[in-house]
């Protein structure tokens, strides 16, 4: 893994970790589907002026739209809603810990698909240990919430579905889009995700704002600008510039950030099982990237 990628990886982890906490608070005030739609819509509306200011025009190449729209489906429209919906059943820290199954899926897929991301002995051992940590948490049924005992397994299932879609997206980006303009790709991805999620929301969402507080609106703005806009651009940059293994490192750092801020801001808890799971996953990811 390129050491030059580490500042970008840490910054992306901070964005995503705090975004999880903001999103979990936000879906307590908004309908979850409405929250996701508004978040993506705000991100698109903020991004378009930036793109016009920097490049002076919107992307018009048909081939780029086709590829970036598919990436928007796989990397935004599916994983973002499934992850946020899973926060109804578990804490920010636990949800983020489950995301550490992402390197397991990613490294296995990369071994067979990407010529520069082959499996090694260290990677194989690391994948096994990290997977054991995630499975340990799932079997224990950890929720990370003081008022809930055993977590609803639907939270874990939603995250796995989202991660499988994100793995497909990462492979697609590395194979077909690493030379594309990150700004244009990010704009199309966000726009595609917003349209798809808005359609879903029209069937399942509740459009009431009656119980939303100022803190709720702040969480929405933060999740949109940092969690959806800045993070999407940075994630695409890391995947294309440094590769799948570097990008997978965020899966270790994000749970630490989410657990810390979740405890400080939302009163979430850190249990011994979560600590054991985090230790196993951290050890696995160390071996993966050694």
| pLDDT, tens digit (0-9, with 9 covering 90-100), for 49-63 | 888 888 888 888 999
Is the CB of residue 122 less than 8 Å from the CB of residue 191?
A: no
SS3 assignment, position 177: coil
Say what the pLDDT of residue 23 is: 92
Instruction: Record the tokens describing residue 30, joined without a space.
Output: 């908004």
Q: What is the pLDDT of residues 208-229, one digit of tens each?
A: 888 899 999 999 999 888 887 7
Q: Are 39 and 198 in contact (CB under 8 A)?
A: no
Residue 1 confidence (pLDDT) above 60 = no
For the entire predicted model, the pTM comes to 0.81
Q: Does 80 have pLDDT greater than 70?
A: yes
Q: Is 173 helix (H, G, I), strand (E, B) or coil?
A: helix
Task: Flag whether pLDDT at 2 surpasses 70.
Answer: no
The pLDDT of residue 244 is above 70: no
For the chain, the domains span: 3-288
Maximum distance among all Cα pairs of the chain, rounded to whole angstroms = 55
Tokens of 132: 């054991």
Provide the percentage of residues in the chain whose pLDDT is more than 70: 96
- Residue 145's nearest CA partner among 31, 252, 29, 28 is 28
Rounded Cα distance between 20 and 143, Å, is 15
Query: Angle at the Cα of 233 (from 232 to 237), degrees rounded to 5?
Result: 115
């Amino acid at each position: 893994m390129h050491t030059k990628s580490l500042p970008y990886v840490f910054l992306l982890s901070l964005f995503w970790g705090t975004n999880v906490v903001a999103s979990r608070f936000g879906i307590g005030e908004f309908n979850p589907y409405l929250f996701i739609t508004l978040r993506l819509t705000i991100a698109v509306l903020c991004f378009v002026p930036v793109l016009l200011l920097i490049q002076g025009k919107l992307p018009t190449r048909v081939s780029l739209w086709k590829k970036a729209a598919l990436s928007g489906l796989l990397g935004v429209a599916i994983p973002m809603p499934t992850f946020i919906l899973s926060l109804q059943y578990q804490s920010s820290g636990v949800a983020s810990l489950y995301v550490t199954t992402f390197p397991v899926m990613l490294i296995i897929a990369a071994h067979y698909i990407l010529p520069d991301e082959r499996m090694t002995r260290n990677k194989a051992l690391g994948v096994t240990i990290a997977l054991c940590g995630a499975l340990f948490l799932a079997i224990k049924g950890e929720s990370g919430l003081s008022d809930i005992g055993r977590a609803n397994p639907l939270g874990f299932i939603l995250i796995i579905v989202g991660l499988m879609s994100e793995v497909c997206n990462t492979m697609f980006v590395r194979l077909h889009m690493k030379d594309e303009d990150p700004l244009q790709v990010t704009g199309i991805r966000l726009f595609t995700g917003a349209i798809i999620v808005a359609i879903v929301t029209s069937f399942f969402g509740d459009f009431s704002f009656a119980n939303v507080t100022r803190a709720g609106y702040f969480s929405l703005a933060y999740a949109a600008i940092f969690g959806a806009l800045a993070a999407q651009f940075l994630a695409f940059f890391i995947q294309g510039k440094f590769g799948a293994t570097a990008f997978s490192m965020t899966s270790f750092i994000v749970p630490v950030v989410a657990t810390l801020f979740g405890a400080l801001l939302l009163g979430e808890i850190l249990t011994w099982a979560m600590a054991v799971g985090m230790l196993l996953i951290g050890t696995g990811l160390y071996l993966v990237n050694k």
